[in-house]
Structures are given as C-alpha cells and as structure tokens.
Amino acid sequence: MSEIAATSKITPRRAGSQAWWNAVNAWLLLLPAAVLLVGFTHYPILATIRRSLFVTKRNGTEAFVGLDNYQAMVADPIFWKALVNNFWFALGTIPTSIALALIMAIWVNRNMRGRGFLRLAYFTPTVLPMIAVANIWLFFYTPDYGLLDQLRSLFGLGGWNWLGDPSTVMGCLVVMVIWKEAGFFMIFYLAALQQLSPDLDEAASIEGASRWYIFRRITFPLLMPTTLFVAINAVINSFKLVDHLVIMTKGGPNNASTLLLYYIYEVAFTFQDASYAATLTVVLLILLSAVALVKFGYLDRRIHYQ
C-alpha cells in the first residue's frame, strides 16, 4: 500500500531518475543469470576458439599456429569417420524416436485400464542412469552369454558378436538410444495432447472426418511446437552421447562406433592434446549453432502456436 502511495507522489522532474533506477534494477536482476551465461557459455566458447589456434608445447608454453590444427583435422581419417558415424547415428535415432514417442503418447492418452502403469513403463528408461543403461544393454549384446544370443541359440543359430562387428555395432547403439529417448519425448507429447481442446475433435467428427484425417489435419499440426522442441533435443542428444561408448565399445571396433564427442574426449583426456580437442570442439559448436539457426530463423516462423 505504501509503495503505491509513494509512486503517486512522483513529480515529472523525478520521472527521469525513476526510469534510470528501473534500468539499474532490471540489470541487477539479470546479473546472476548473465554472469553464469558469460562464465559458462560465452567465455568458454571464445577460449576454445582461441585455443584451437595455438598448440601447447611439452614445456607448457603456447605457440600460435594459425590454422595448422584445422589442417591436421582435415587430414585426420578418424575425425571424418566420427563425423560420418554421427550423421548416420542422428539419422537413425531422431526420426524413429520421435515417431515412436508420438505413437506411445497417443496410446497412453486414451482412457483405459492400466494407463498409469503403461505410462510409467514407457518413461522408465529415461530415469535410469546412463551407465546402468549401458550395462543393461551389454547384457543383451554380449556374444554367447547375452540375451540376444541366447534367443538365437533357441533357433540353432550361433553366437554373434554384436558390438564387436563393424556392421552391427552402430545399429545396436541406435536401437538402445531409441529405447532410452522415446519415453522421454513421449512425456512432452502427452502434455501437449492434454492441452488440446476436445472441441476441435468433436467438431471434426460431427463433420464426418475420419480419425486419420483428424490426426493429420488437426492434432499433428497443433503438436508442431512440441515436435520442434523434441526434434531440437533429439539432435543435441545425438551429438551428446559419450557415456555409453565408454562402457560398451570404446568407439571400436576400428572406430566403427566413434562419435564426435567421444573422439573429443579421447583426444583431450587420453591423448592429452587440448588444442586439437579444442579444434574438434569448434566443429561441434558450428554444427549445433547451425541447428539453432534453422530453428530460430526458419522453422519457428512456419509453426502455428496456439
């Protein structure tokens, strides 16, 4: 009450200082977030770019080498392999896990018996720690002893080295990641579905629209903001995978399952080559920035928000 009384007494002459005070206030309120953002995002990005232009000598001194690190990267077959692997990995995981998430969400959005249990079951993979997930799937994939090979042996088939064979290892990882991600994305779709007004559905069915037509022309377009959000997350996740690789394949055999971030980890910590790791990180930054640009510059404007 007293504040309101105070504001009403402001004279025009003091309005200027009031605006100034408001600005200070706003900046002070933004400061904690800004400090964190600069300290943990913007500064590290600049430091990484700078470091990629230098090499650290064995005696600890730095020397400017310009684009040498980038030249070495272009000539590095493992880098290209990691990049190509990452492309196939993203292509394998993103569309499938999103489609699966949507189907699961529509399924558990209906009124039915055991709905809570089903939702929980779908969501469980998401809450498991990454290392536990890797161990569970090792149990499936281990040659001879694993669940898959036990099943194969029922049909008289011999053991298959799932993770030790360059032709199957990527597929194995893709399946595992879809299993883990679909349940997570389902939650967003489920929340979005529950926001949709049932009136639209009813109106459409009175008009005689089929269920498929309603989904295609009403539900799915209205879910687009969620789809975009989920898609961005899926892209980020497909570049973020590293824990599973450490446990399950170490990027092998012969780099068949090396992804970009795992290679960065290996270069930075196993080979202790910080400047080359920084160079690789810059590539990752560029890739992810491109994704963000597409989202904000193009997709956002084409999507209908309620």
Binding site for another protein (CB under 8 A): 58-60, 77, 142-145, 153, 156-159, 161, 164-166, 250, 252-255, 266, 269-272
- What is the distance in angstroms between the CA of the first residue and the CA of the last residue of the chain? 37
- Nearest 5°: CA angle at 139, between 138 and 144? 100
Q: Which residue, 40 or 271, has its beta carbon nearer to another protein?
A: 271
Q: Smallest distance from the beta carbon of 152 to another protein, in angstroms?
A: 10
Phi/psi at 64 (nearest 5 deg)?
Answer: -75, 130
Note whether 274 and 52 are within 8 A (CB). Answer: no
Cis peptide before 253, with omega less than 30 degrees from 0?
yes
H helices present in 76-219, as ranges? 77-109, 115-127, 130-141, 147-154, 169-195, 198-206, 211-214
Phi/psi at 63 (nearest 5 deg)?
Answer: -130, 135
Q: Which residue, 159 or 225, has its beta carbon nearer to another protein?
A: 159
Q: Which residue, 192 or 277, has its beta carbon nearer to another protein?
A: 277
Q: Which residue, 39 or 166, has its beta carbon nearer to another protein?
A: 166
Q: Which residue, 59 or 306, has its beta carbon nearer to another protein?
A: 59
Q: Smallest distance from the beta carbon of 181 to another protein, in angstroms?
A: 27
> How, if at all, do strands 54-56 and 62-64 pair?
antiparallel
Rounded to an integer, what distance in angstroms lies between the CA atom of residue 117 and that of residue 248? 30
Q: Smallest distance from the beta carbon of 187 to another protein, in angstroms?
A: 34
Q: Quick one: tokens of 263?
A: 């290679």
Q: Smallest distance from the beta carbon of 251 to another protein, in angstroms?
A: 9
Q: Smallest distance from the beta carbon of 252 to another protein, in angstroms?
A: 6
Q: Smallest distance from the beta carbon of 175 to another protein, in angstroms?
A: 19
Q: Smallest distance from the beta carbon of 145 to another protein, in angstroms?
A: 7
Rounded to an integer, what distance in angstroms lies between the CA atom of residue 247 and that of residue 245? 5
Q: Which residue, 201 or 243, has its beta carbon nearer to another protein?
A: 243
Q: Smallest distance from the beta carbon of 29 to another protein, in angstroms?
A: 34
Q: Which residue, 158 or 208, has its beta carbon nearer to another protein?
A: 158
Q: Which residue, 195 or 254, has its beta carbon nearer to another protein?
A: 254
Rounded to an integer, what distance in angstroms lies between the CA atom of residue 87 and that of residue 201? 39
Burial of 74 (0-12, 13-18, 19+ CB in 10 A): exposed
Burial of 173 (0-12, 13-18, 19+ CB in 10 A): buried
Note whether 53 and 67 are within 8 A (CB). Answer: yes
